[in-house]
Structures are given as structure tokens and as C-alpha cells.
Amino acid sequence: MRAWKQTASGRRYFLYDGEELACELDAVGNPVEAVLFGANGLLVYGGVGYQFDPQGNATHLLNANGVAGAHLAYDAWGQLVSGSNPTPYGYKAQWGYHTDTETGLLLLTYGYLDPVMGRFLTRDPIGMEGGVNLYAYVGNGVVIRRDPSGKIPFYPPIPILPIEPHPVPILPPGDAPSACSEYDRLCKQGGWIACAMREPCRMAGDSPWSDCVRRCLLNRFRACRGDWVCELTVYLIWVHADCWVRCLDYAPRPCIPGVPGRERPPVIVALPPAVTR
């Protein structure tokens, strides 16, 4: 995040709503460009609307009538390979990546990314908690990962327990029926992964541990904000494993496999259904 920048055309100030840019101001404080984000990311910058590819890159710039005025294409690391983009939002624009047209650098909230070098120019603000390479960008997984905060990739680098610098606290178990009902609601809105989550949610047992895992998974699912790739990582096993570990305080102890009454209760395990052709 930054308060202002100085260019040959003058000074420009930036006003934020949390970590999202909300407005750009000129040198005397007059609004110049408004920025609007929705539940699924960027919607409008100034008078320009956007359409995105599955990676969140801007592919079309739309005028007030919804007519495409520019067709864009970016490589995996953020360099523009086709079209002309007069706005600061292009590569991973859906997630708020802000491009400085004067330098070609991308501002990811807390760090600057050089798309030519494929690395950050500023040290990782979370230090070694983000890995031994303090300048690495999403572990080189640029196709499926994003890092709008410049602090930690949105997806774990490999399908094991993700490591987060500030884990989301797990609330006491409960509210399990409403968790499953939320998947019903999202399914009716066209969320096909939410549809797949409904049955495992209801088959997961009725123990405090299972209820805690339900709530944890729902929180992770909601955090995806409609991104189906992110939702798929919640549907698959490694996010489940993370929630199981976070909820171990609610698991019955001691746990002795094979001894009736001393085993841990069933938990949610959602595996992809078989595909027939």
C-alpha cells in the first residue's frame, strides 16, 4: 500500500478501503478515478469495466455501454503480449494487482513485483515464514496461484498442510446444520462444487470435532468468493486435512484405532466422483 506517487504528469494520491484501492486523487485532493471491487474482485476502474480469464487477467476492457474497446493477453508472469491497456489493471487485475505504467512494476499491496524478472523487488513482509527465498513470487506456481497481498500465496504450494503466518481462529463447534444449508444455498446459485459439498457435509457425523471441521471448511469455502479453482482446493483432501488439524482440540482423546468407543468420529472426506465417458 502507498499514499501517493510522483510522475512527470504530477502527484497522485491513493485512498483505500481496507487493503483495496477505492479512489485516486489529484495533487489538490480532487477525485480522479474511482475503483470498485465486488465479491469476486475488480469490477470498474474509472469508466472502464473488465472481463477476465480463469487466472484473473484482464482480457477485455469495456466502455459504459459494455462494448469491448481493447483485447488483451498476458504471459504467465505478467508481461503484456497483446493489445494496449491504458488502465493500471491488467495482469491478475481481478485480484487487485496494480500496474505502474511508468515502470511496468506491479504493486501487490505490500510488495512490488517485477514481471520481467519474475520476483519481488521488496523483501517478503512476513520474513522467513514465507520461505527461505524472501523475493520469490508464489513459489513459481504462477498459473494457479495468486498473491494480492504480497505476503503469502493464496494456495498452498503443494497439497499438504498449508502453513499460514496468522491462522484463522477456530470457533467452538456448533452451527453444523446451517453450514450444510449454506452449501444448499450456494448450489442453487449455480455453484457446482458447493453441490458436491452438500452430501459429505451431512454424512460427517455429529461430534464436536465434525462440527468444527464443517465450520472450518465453510469459512475456507466462503473465502474463495466464487473462484472455482480455490473452491476445488477446499473440496479436495488437503484443505480437509488442514481443518482436521485445526480442530484437534475437539477430537475425543485418547484415540486408539480399532478399539470400539475409543476411535475418533467420522469427519468430512469429499473425494471427486468417478467420471464416465
Same domain? For 275 and 161 the reply is yes
Same domain? For 88 and 134 the reply is yes
Say if 145 falls within a structural domain.
no
Same domain? For 43 and 129 the reply is yes
Q: How far apart are CA 140 and CA 15, in angstroms?
A: 31
Q: Are strands 58-62 and 68-71 parallel, antiparallel or unpaired?
A: antiparallel
User: In terms of residue numbers, what domain contains 64?
Assistant: 4-140
Say if 150 falls within a structural domain.
no
Same domain? For 135 and 165 the reply is no
pLDDT in tens, 90-133: 999 999 999 998 999 999 999 999 999 999 998 888 887 777 88
Say if 131 falls within a structural domain.
yes
Q: Are strands 31-38 and 41-45 parallel, antiparallel or unpaired?
A: antiparallel
Same domain? For 171 and 259 the reply is yes
Same domain? For 8 and 136 the reply is yes
- Give how many domains the chain has, as a whole number: 2
Same domain? For 111 and 170 the reply is no
Look over the chain and give the mean of its residue pLDDT values, rounded to a whole number: 79
Query: Residues near 207 by Cβ (< 8 Å), separated by ≥ 6?
Result: 250, 252, 265
- Under DSSP, the state recorded for 125 is T
Which pLDDT belongs to residue 251? 66
Same domain? For 19 and 99 the reply is yes
Which pLDDT belongs to residue 237? 61
Say if 147 falls within a structural domain.
no
Same domain? For 272 and 177 the reply is yes
pLDDT in tens, 190-212: 777 778 877 777 777 777 777 78
Q: Which parts of 153-243 are beta strand (E)?
A: none
Say if 148 falls within a structural domain.
no
- Residue of 205, 218, 219, 220 whose CA lies nearest to 250: 205
pLDDT in tens, 123-177: 888 887 777 888 988 878 888 888 888 877 655 443 433 444 444 444 444 444 5
Is 49 in a helix, a strand, or coil?
A: strand
Q: How far apart are CA 83 and CA 59, in angstroms?
A: 9
Which pLDDT belongs to residue 119? 93
Which pLDDT belongs to residue 145? 83
